[in-house]
Structure 1
Amino acid sequence: MSNTMNSPRNSATSSATSSATNSATNSPMNSPMNDTNPVEERIAFIGLGHMGGPMAMNLAKAGYAVTAFDVSAAALERASQAGVMAAPSAAAAVEGATVVISMLPASRHVEALYLGEGGLLSHLAAGTLVIDCSTIAPASAQRVSLAAETRGIAMLDAPVSGGTAGAAAGTLTFIVGGEAQALERARPVLGAMGKNVFHMGGAGAGQVAKLCNNMALGVIMAVTGEALALGVSHGLDPQALSAMMAVSTGRSWATEVCNPWPGVKPEAPASRGYAGGFGNDLMLKDLGLAVEAALQVGAAVPLGELARNLYALNSRAGRGRLDFSSVQQLVAGDGGPLG
């Protein structure tokens, strides 16, 4: 990690606390910044993709005034039909906002949005709360947080888990790094989009924790696909094998919810041609960030590195935009370079 990661204020390895919230009303408002009804927060939302779109819509549904921007006119139109106000630019979206939320693909997009001349931080008033829900490099989260702090702007890195289904249902898990006081202010807003909130430590800690989770997820999905392929090769029914694994020690989200074998779980991406869900290229990005984070502290992640290579091969086989569970086709030798 960068040197700022090791400071007492920002350390990702500081004692972490966790909490869960089932609604915005379950969270105490201890911050002096919150002497009004939390719904009076005026929210700007930047990034209305598969995750950001439903998140912004849920905020509007909860009664928040939400103004949003996305480079996609179609995404803006969908959100506007759900009560979100469309803005012609990110700068226009944040005018008068008390809370800014971003959900963008990668570190470079987040840094470009907030930093430098003309970056959003230069448009925000002191006392604004920024919540970045993108999954990015911890060092990038720290850079933006430090720049925000110098302007009197509180910032949280709050990547999410729960996928597109969780975003639509408002049941996401938020994995948060940043100051506790800022998180207390953010809880009602997060509660309109999710069910669980875990405070992992200082700036960047949310990103470290999210990368740990996604590294485990990537490995588990690949080995689940491999196990199912082995069983089917021996004549086993993939549905029966999955049902057995789901109540045995090999159980996981990959066996029970997002099963990688087509037809086993009708609602899973695998049963609709691996469309939708969490893209293979996004998993590849997160695994790359996890391996990079490991190198920075001298940690060994051999399975993480192997998984990154597998998803890279899956992308080269033309499945980069498909759900990451399509790695099953690679390990099964179905049209991939391992076949």
Structure 2
Amino acid sequence: LISTEKGSRCAMPLVVCFLLALSTRSMASKTPVGFVGLGNMGSPMATNLLKNGYPVIATDVFPGSCKEIQDLGAHVVDSPADVADKSDRIITMLPSSPDVIDVFTGPSGILKKVKKGTLLIDSSTIDPAVSKEMSVAAEKMGAVFMDAPVSGGVGAASLAKLTFMVGGPEEEFNAAQELLSCMGANVVYCGQVGTGQAVKLCNNMLLAIGMIGTAETMNLGIRLGLDPKLLAKILNMSSGRCWSSDTYNPVPGVMEGVPSANNYQGGFVTTLMAKDLGLAQNTATSTKTPIPLGSLAHQIYRVMGSRGYANKDFSSVFQFLREEEGQ
């Protein structure tokens, strides 16, 4: 109790104690979050969890990838199984379907030590069928699996502005959203397990087609004598505007802070775009859906991978077209 000017007493300290209790309870809710996969996307995502006060238990197949997050305060362990042993909410961010299968069901996989009730959120971009398989395997162990692939690239991951497309039990969405909102600006429920992956594959197919179209358009304009910055400016105030032209332009010198301004380093590498387009192609084939432009985009990115562009950002398709033109 404290005294007022008139000598009476009030319960202001009780209010303070109550607020402190609420704060303590809020911090207590931030139990450790496991994170597997600390590549170009996973590292900034895990960092944003730390920034939001969540203790992070992390691992990666390449120990060197763990150093940065460890320096920021994360606890690094040796395997996905060790992550599962120390946390009951785990996020995975991995390159491909085989990687996801191994991380979850391999000899040192998550499901070897997963606790009942653990929430498993996979943000990799993989075959929707694999997400469904992992969901069944997790359910047998008493855990809940959700697919939550992302859109936005490395820049959005660093700024916590990713878009998450979430598939899984709707009653678990709020729990997933609590964590995903620390890493993204948009968290959208898409339906049951696999639907998040389906949306992501559709998005990336359109992204690849748009990037190739932007690269072709910019190259044609340059060949016609147009200044690329001027051309981009006009495109971005006209009906041809798209994300590849106004946010991630593939022409060096047009924009700052994008891979094309850094010799196409960083960002979303060609190999991964080819992988995603292959998944889209397989899904289209199985559903007998014609995707002529998606198929052509797949072929282009596969060829790029064999011509020295495998580890360059997918916007390097502009450079690839220019080199092809000179042959």
Task: Tell me the TM-score normalised to structure 2 length.
Answer: 0.89
**CA 1:37–1:204 in structure 2 vs 1: closer, same or farther (change >3 Å)?**
farther
CA distance in 2, matches of 1:337, 1:240: 23
CA distance in 1, matches of 2:127, 2:167: 13
Q: Does 1:196 align with 2:190?
A: no
Q: Does 1:209 align with 2:199?
A: yes
8 Å Cα contact 1:225-1:328 kept in structure 2 = yes
SS in 2 for 1:94: helix
SS in 2 for 1:113: helix
CA distance in 2, matches of 1:337, 1:71: 40
**CA 1:307–1:129 in structure 2 vs 1: closer, same or farther (change >3 Å)?**
same
More helix by share: 2
Q: In the alignment, what sits opposite 1:272?
A: 262
Q: In the alignment, what sits opposite 2:174?
A: 184
Structure 1 residue runs of 4+, over 6 Å off? Answer: 35-38
Equivalent position to 2:55, from 49, 52, 65: 65
> How many residues are paired up?
303
Equivalent AA in structure 2 for residue 269 of structure 1: P
Q: Does 1:80 align with 2:99?
A: no
8 Å Cα contact 2:132-2:193 kept in structure 1 = yes
* Aligned ranges 1:215-230 → 2 under 5 Å: 215-230=205-220
8 Å Cα contact 1:44-1:99 kept in structure 2 = yes
Equivalent AA in structure 2 for residue 108 of structure 1: P
Equivalent position to 1:47, from 37, 45, 49: 37
How far off its partner does 1:74 sit? 2.2
Equivalent AA in structure 1 for residue 57 of structure 2: T
1:186-231 Cα offsets, whole Å, 9 max, x none, are: 1111111111011111111100100000000000000100011111
* Aligned ranges 1:115-154 → 2 under 5 Å: 115=105, 118-154=108-144
8 Å Cα contact 1:222-1:331 kept in structure 2 = no
Equivalent AA in structure 1 for residue 152 of structure 2: G
Equivalent AA in structure 2 for residue 260 of structure 1: P
How far off its partner does 1:125 sit? 1.2
How far off its partner does 1:85 sit? 1.0
Q: In the alignment, what sits opposite 2:13?
A: none
Equivalent position to 2:299, from 296, 302, 309: 309
CA distance in 2, matches of 1:135, 1:151: 23
Equivalent AA in structure 2 for residue 103 of structure 1: M
CA distance in 1, matches of 2:191, 2:117: 21
8 Å Cα contact 1:57-1:83 kept in structure 2 = no
Answer with 318-327 or 68-77: which moved more.
Answer: 68-77
CA distance in 1, matches of 2:297, 2:166: 25
Q: Does 1:261 align with 2:251?
A: yes
Q: Does 1:320 align with 2:310?
A: yes
Identity between Structure 1 and Structure 2 (%)? 40
Equivalent AA in structure 1 for residue 220 of structure 2: L
CA distance in 2, matches of 1:250, 1:264: 17
Q: In the alignment, what sits opposite 2:14?
A: none
How far off its partner does 1:61 sit? 1.2
CA RMSD of aligned residues (A): 1.6
**CA 1:38–1:274 in structure 2 vs 1: closer, same or farther (change >3 Å)?**
farther
Query: Where does the alignment leave 5 or more consecutive residues of structure 1 unmatched?
Result: 1-34
Equivalent AA in structure 1 for residue 316 of structure 2: S
SS in 1 for 2:85: coil
How far off its partner does 1:122 sit? 2.6
Q: In the alignment, what sits opposite 1:162?
A: 152
Q: In the alignment, what sits opposite 1:112?
A: 102
How far off its partner does 1:39 sit? 3.9
Q: Does 1:285 align with 2:272?
A: no
Equivalent AA in structure 1 for residue 89 of structure 2: V
Q: Which has the greater radius of gyration?
A: 2
Q: Does 1:93 align with 2:102?
A: no
8 Å Cα contact 1:317-1:337 kept in structure 2 = no
CA distance in 2, matches of 1:158, 1:88: 24
SS in 1 for 2:226: coil
Answer with 291-300 or 211-220: which moved more.
Answer: 291-300
How far off its partner does 1:93 sit? 2.0
CA distance in 2, matches of 1:226, 1:189: 39
Equivalent AA in structure 2 for residue 200 of structure 1: C
